[in-house]
């Protein structure tokens, strides 16, 4: 086997390491990196043996050993044809039942993948910023997948194998990778019974599953039968329903959001009022101010927010975007000439990061309307991020904010990619809570006529579901502050 062979497939150049790992996947025409370190990993106990590179095929062989004896063998096979097939075959060699350590799919990507791993169904989607918008999509054909601790597990944990020679002595996993045109095509691959909505805005809303030949189990969810349909309701939170159908058991995450004001904003504001206003973090001051604007502070002292904002504006050094927004809110609410005068200095100390331009624009408006400076310094500095993916996301959000400040007629493809972090109308996980919340806030400033035709549902619905999902996840105060934008 050569030191670094390259397999060409689907417009990709796939560099293969000696151990069979796909070290780098790049677009053949541009050289842009799609993924690094793509490999099927087997958990502790498995020993990697030989690797064979055939024509458009890679085979990796593993053994599970105990006490000097081989208990099981596994073969991981990549076949690059019209589609790219990934198969895992495990075989018990003993005459007793065996619990073999599980397998997972590992890779790092320059942009967050959408990962939907749901038992009998699974889909991993990579948006590689192709001009035509196509998506490299890994689709599960066989196995049992789940997302746990950030890992994409492909099998049961552990794999339970029957004795050698019995029907259940083996375990098979099969996935297919292909280029799909857009998210609408991905949505068409969902099970036929998949519900119209999996995120509900209110605990009174219901989910209907049309299941003539399947059963449903769901802890914490009320299930009513209506002919072949199952009608589900639940309290606030993210709940798991399991649908037992022909292909096996599919996990369906269902989210019911509590009321933004009564279930989230008021309790958070009351907790903050009990603290010394001089110690509140920027997002806490902003949240408190927005609660006051909406009349939800009850019998709180009238100057509670003012004290917190004045203390915030007097702090030295760099400031967070929501600190600038909190001061701007106070200026718009009460005039506060002394705070108006601080806006240019505060704006100059606001570092460039996701959400900063949105807050700076808000502060500029407050300054103009209050007789202050007509323009304020824009946030500047290096884009934050601990790694390539974090920096790419931060740059994309900042770019989206810049577009919102200009009269751009059509939504650029890069903006569609950024907004897809909100889910694009598909199940699965994309980004952390704070990233999704900032994207949600920033997207509220985009031109109203902008729409994403490639998604299965409208942008307005995607934004609505994204906020409801964050509330159902019982997000923290910083995330909640961005959802008040």
**287 and 220 in one domain?**
no
Count: domains in the chain? 3
Residue 165 in domain:
no
Domain boundary among 147, 177, 207: 177
**324 and 244 in one domain?**
no
pLDDT tens, 36-50?
A: 999 999 988 999 999
Q: How far apart are CA 100 and CA 273, in angstroms?
A: 54
**81 and 32 in one domain?**
yes
**204 and 285 in one domain?**
no
CATH number, domain of 234, equals 2.60.40.10
Residue 473 in domain:
yes
**237 and 294 in one domain?**
no
Residues contacting 239, CB < 8 A, separation 6+: 218, 219, 220, 221, 253, 254, 255, 256
Residues contacting 8, CB < 8 A, separation 6+: 14, 28
**240 and 288 in one domain?**
no
The packing angle between helices 282-293 and 304-313, to 10°, is 150
**284 and 247 in one domain?**
no
Q: Which domain holds residue 353?
A: 280-484
Residue 406 in domain:
yes
**37 and 4 in one domain?**
yes
**440 and 307 in one domain?**
yes
CB 401, CB 383: distance < 8 Å: no
CB 50, CB 75: distance < 8 Å: no
pLDDT tens, 380-408?
A: 888 988 899 999 999 999 999 998 888 68
**288 and 254 in one domain?**
no
Give the mean model confidence (pLDDT) for residues 411-437: 96
Residues contacting 63, CB < 8 A, separation 6+: 46, 47, 49, 70, 72, 73, 74
**35 and 150 in one domain?**
yes
Residue 162 in domain:
no
Q: How far apart are CA 94 and CA 98, in angstroms?
A: 8
pLDDT tens, 76-94?
A: 999 999 999 999 999 999 9
Report the predicted TM-score, pTM, of the whole model to 2 decimal places: 0.95
**448 and 408 in one domain?**
yes
Residue 430 in domain:
yes
CB 152, CB 105: distance < 8 Å: yes
Residue 478 has pLDDT above 80, yes or no: yes
Domain boundary among 112, 142, 177: 177
Look up residue 130 and give its DSSP letter: -
């Amino acid at each position: 086997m050569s030191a670094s062979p390259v397999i060409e497939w689907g417009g990709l150049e796939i560099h293969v390491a000696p151990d069979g790992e796909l070290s780098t996947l790049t677009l053949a025409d541009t050289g842009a990196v799609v993924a690094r370190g793509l490999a099927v990993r087997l958990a502790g106990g498995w020993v990697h043996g030989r690797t064979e590179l055939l024509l458009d095929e890679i085979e990796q062989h593993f053994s599970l050993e105990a006490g000097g004896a081989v208990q099981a063998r596994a073969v991981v096979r990549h076949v690059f044809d019209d589609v790219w097939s990934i198969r895992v075959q495990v075989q018990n060699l003993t005459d007793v039942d065996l619990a073999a350590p599980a397998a997972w799919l590992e890779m790092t990507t320059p942009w967050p993948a959408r990962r939907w791993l749901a038992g009998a169904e699974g889909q991993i989607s990579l948006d590689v910023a192709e001009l035509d918008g196509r998506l490299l999509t890994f689709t599960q054909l066989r196995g049992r997948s789940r997302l746990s601790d950030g890992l994409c597990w492909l099998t049961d944990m552990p794999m339970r194998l029957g004795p050698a020679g019995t029907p259940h002595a083996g375990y098979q996993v099969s996935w297919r990778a292909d280029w799909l045109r857009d998210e609408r095509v991905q949505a068409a691959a969902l099970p036929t019974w998949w519900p119209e909505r999996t995120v509900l805005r209110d605990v009174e809303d219901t989910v209907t599953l049309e299941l003539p030949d399947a059963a449903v189990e769901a802890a914490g969810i009320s299930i009513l039968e209506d002919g072949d349909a199952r009608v589900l309701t639940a309290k606030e939170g993210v709940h798991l329903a399991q649908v037992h159908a022909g292909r096996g058991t599919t996990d369906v995450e269902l989210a019911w959001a509590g009321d933004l004001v009564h279930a989230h904003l008021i309790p958070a504001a009351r907790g903050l009022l009990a603290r010394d206003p001089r110690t509140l973090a920027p997002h806490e001051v902003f949240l408190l101010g927005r609660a006051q604007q909406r009349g939800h502070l009850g019998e709180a002292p009238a100057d509670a927010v003012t004290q917190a904002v004045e203390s915030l504006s007097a702090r030295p050094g760099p400031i967070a975007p929501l600190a600038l927004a909190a001061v701007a809110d106070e200026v718009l609410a009460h005039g506060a000439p002394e705070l108006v005068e601080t806006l240019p200095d505060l704006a100059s100390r606001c570092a460039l990061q996701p959400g900063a331009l949105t807050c700076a624009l808000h502060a500029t408006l407050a300054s103009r309307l209050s007789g202050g400076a007509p323009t304020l310094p824009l946030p500047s500095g290096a884009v934050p991020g601990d790694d390539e993916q974090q920096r790419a996301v931060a740059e994309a959000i900042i770019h989206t904010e810049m577009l919102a400040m200009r009269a751009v007629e059509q939504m650029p493809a890069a903006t569609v990619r950024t907004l897809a972090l909100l889910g694009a109308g598909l199940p699965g996980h994309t980004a952390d809570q704070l990233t999704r919340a900032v994207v949600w806030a920033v997207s509220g400033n985009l031109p109203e006529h902008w729409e994403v035709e490639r998604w299965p549902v409208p942008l307005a619905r995607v934004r609505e579901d994204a906020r409801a999902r964050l509330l159902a996840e019982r997000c923290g105060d910083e995330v909640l502050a961005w959802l008040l934008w």
